Structure 1
Amino acid sequence: MSDPSSPSTPALRRGLKVLGTLLITLSAISPASSVFIIAPGVVGQAGSGAFWSFVIAAVVGVFMAFVYAELASAYPLSGGEYAIVARTLGRLPGFVTLGLLMVTQLLIIAVIALGVGTYLEVLIPGLSGPVVAAVTTAGATVLAVFDIKLNAWITGIFLAIEMVALVVVSALGFLDPARPLSELLSAPVAAADGVVGPASAGLIVGAAAVAIFSYNGYGSAVYFGEETTNAHRGIAKTILWALVITVIAELVPVTAVLLGAPSLPELFASDNMMSYFVNAQAGSTVNTVISLAVALAILNAVLAIILITSRMVFSTGRDAAWPGSLSRSLAAIHPRTGTPWIATVVTGVLATALCFADKDFLLVVTATSIVAVYGALCLAAINGRRNGSTAHAAYRMPWFPVAPVLALAALLYVVYQNALDPVIGRPSLLITLGIGVVSALYYLLVLRRRGQWVLRGPEDEASVADPALR
Structure 2
Amino acid sequence: MAVPALRRGLRTLGTLLITLSAISPASSVFIIAPGVLAGAGSGAFLSFLAAGVVGVFMAFVYAELSSAFPLSGGEYAIVARTLGRLPGFLVLGMMMITQLLIVAVIALGVGTYLSVLLPGLPGPTVAAATCVLAAVVAVFDIKLNAWVTGIFLAVELLALGVVSALGLLHPARAFGELVSHPVTSTGPATIGAIAIATSVAIFAYNGYGSAVYFGEETQNASRGIARAILLALGITVLAELVPVTAVLLGAPDLGALFGAENMMSYFISTQGGSTLDTVISLAIALAIVNAVLAIVLISSRLVFSSGRDRAWPAAVNRALSAVHPRFGTPWIATLGTGLIAAPLCYVDQQLLVVVTSTSIVAVYLALCLSAIRGRRTGATAHAQYRMPLFPVAPVLALAALAFVVYQNALDEKVGRPSLIVTVGMVLLALLYYVLVLRRRGGWQLVEPEQT
> TM-score with structure 1 length normalisation?
0.95
Aligned partners of 2:146 and 2:442: how far apart in 1? 34
* Deviation, structure 1 residue 334: 0.3
* Deviation, structure 1 residue 202: 2.1
- Correspondence for 2:56: 62
Aligned partners of 1:252 and 1:128: how far apart in 2? 32
Helix, strand or coil for the counterpart of 2:318? helix
| 1:22 is aligned to 2:16 | yes
- Correspondence for 2:258: 268
* Mapping for residues 342-353 of structure 1, pairs under 5 Å: 342-353=332-343
- Correspondence for 2:439: 449
Aligned partners of 1:11 and 1:234: how far apart in 2? 19
Q: 1:139 aligns with which of 119, 133, 141?
A: 133
Determine if contact 2:199/2:357 at 8 Å carries over to the other structure. Answer: no
Q: 2:355 aligns with which of 348, 360, 365?
A: 365
Q: 1:39 aligns with which of 12, 33, 37?
A: 33
Determine if contact 2:308/2:321 at 8 Å carries over to the other structure. Answer: yes
Helix, strand or coil for the counterpart of 1:459? coil
Aligned partners of 1:231 and 1:334: how far apart in 2? 22
Helix, strand or coil for the counterpart of 2:225? helix
Aligned partners of 1:419 and 1:199: how far apart in 2? 19
CA RMSD of superposed structures (Å):
0.9
- Correspondence for 1:303: 293
| 1:392 is aligned to 2:386 | no
Determine if contact 2:6/2:329 at 8 Å carries over to the other structure. Answer: yes
- Correspondence for 1:426: 416
Determine if contact 1:321/1:452 at 8 Å carries over to the other structure. Answer: no
- Correspondence for 1:464: none
Determine if contact 2:375/2:381 at 8 Å carries over to the other structure. Answer: yes
* Deviation, structure 1 residue 458: 2.1
Aligned partners of 2:206 and 2:360: how far apart in 1? 9
String of CA shifts for 1:239-283, please: whole Å, max 9, x gaps.
Answer: 000000000000000011011111111111111110010001100
- Going from structure 1 to structure 2, the CA distance change for 1:460 and 1:217 (only over 3 Å counts) comes to closer
**Amino acid of the residue matched to residue 4 of structure 2?**
P
| 1:216 is aligned to 2:210 | no
- Correspondence for 1:230: 220
Aligned partners of 2:198 and 2:432: how far apart in 1? 34
| 1:100 is aligned to 2:94 | yes
- Correspondence for 1:189: 183
| 1:180 is aligned to 2:190 | no
* Deviation, structure 1 residue 448: 2.0
* Deviation, structure 1 residue 200: 2.0
- Correspondence for 1:207: 197
Determine if contact 1:16/1:228 at 8 Å carries over to the other structure. Answer: yes
Aligned partners of 1:448 and 1:8: how far apart in 2? 24
Q: 1:111 aligns with which of 92, 102, 105?
A: 105
**Amino acid of the residue matched to residue 111 of structure 2?**
G
Aligned partners of 2:307 and 2:254: how far apart in 1? 51
- Correspondence for 1:162: 156
Aligned partners of 2:294 and 2:39: how far apart in 1? 29
Aligned partners of 1:450 and 1:236: how far apart in 2? 36
Helix, strand or coil for the counterpart of 1:391? coil
String of CA shifts for 1:12-43, please: whole Å, max 9, x gaps.
Answer: 00010000000000000000000001111111
String of CA shifts for 1:285-332, please: whole Å, max 9, x gaps.
Answer: 000000001101110110000000000100011111111111011100
| 1:255 is aligned to 2:249 | no
Please identify runs of 4+ aligned residues in structure 1 that moved more than 4 A: none
Q: 1:279 aligns with which of 261, 269, 283?
A: 269
Q: Identity of paired residues, percent? A: 72
* Deviation, structure 1 residue 449: 2.3
> TM-score with structure 2 length normalisation?
0.99
| 1:78 is aligned to 2:42 | no
Q: Which moved more, 1:248-257 or 1:45-54?
A: 45-54
- Correspondence for 1:3: none
* Deviation, structure 1 residue 201: 2.1
Helix, strand or coil for the counterpart of 1:262? coil
Q: 2:314 aligns with which of 321, 324, 337?
A: 324
Aligned partners of 2:330 and 2:195: how far apart in 1? 41
- Correspondence for 1:468: none
**Amino acid of the residue matched to residue 446 of structure 1?**
V
Aligned partners of 2:417 and 2:193: how far apart in 1? 20
- Correspondence for 1:356: 346
Number of residues of Structure 1 aligned to a counterpart in Structure 2: 451
String of CA shifts for 1:102-159, please: whole Å, max 9, x gaps.
Answer: 0000000001101111100111101111101001111111100000000000000000
* Deviation, structure 1 residue 207: 1.2
Helix, strand or coil for the counterpart of 2:439? helix
Aligned partners of 1:181 and 1:65: how far apart in 2? 28
| 1:53 is aligned to 2:47 | yes
- Correspondence for 2:165: 171
* Deviation, structure 1 residue 418: 1.1
Q: Which moved more, 1:400-409 or 1:446-455?
A: 446-455
Aligned partners of 1:229 and 1:425: how far apart in 2? 40
Determine if contact 1:57/1:209 at 8 Å carries over to the other structure. Answer: yes
Helix, strand or coil for the counterpart of 2:184? strand
**Amino acid of the residue matched to residue 201 of structure 1?**
I
Determine if contact 1:73/1:393 at 8 Å carries over to the other structure. Answer: yes
* Deviation, structure 1 residue 452: 4.7
- Correspondence for 2:280: 290
Aligned partners of 1:342 and 1:263: how far apart in 2? 50
Q: Which moved more, 1:301-310 or 1:427-436?
A: 427-436
- Going from structure 1 to structure 2, the CA distance change for 1:33 and 1:452 (only over 3 Å counts) comes to same
Aligned partners of 1:189 and 1:275: how far apart in 2? 21
* Deviation, structure 1 residue 165: 0.1
Aligned partners of 2:424 and 2:195: how far apart in 1? 26
Structure 2 unaligned regions, length at least 5? none
Helix, strand or coil for the counterpart of 1:450? coil
Aligned partners of 2:381 and 2:297: how far apart in 1? 29
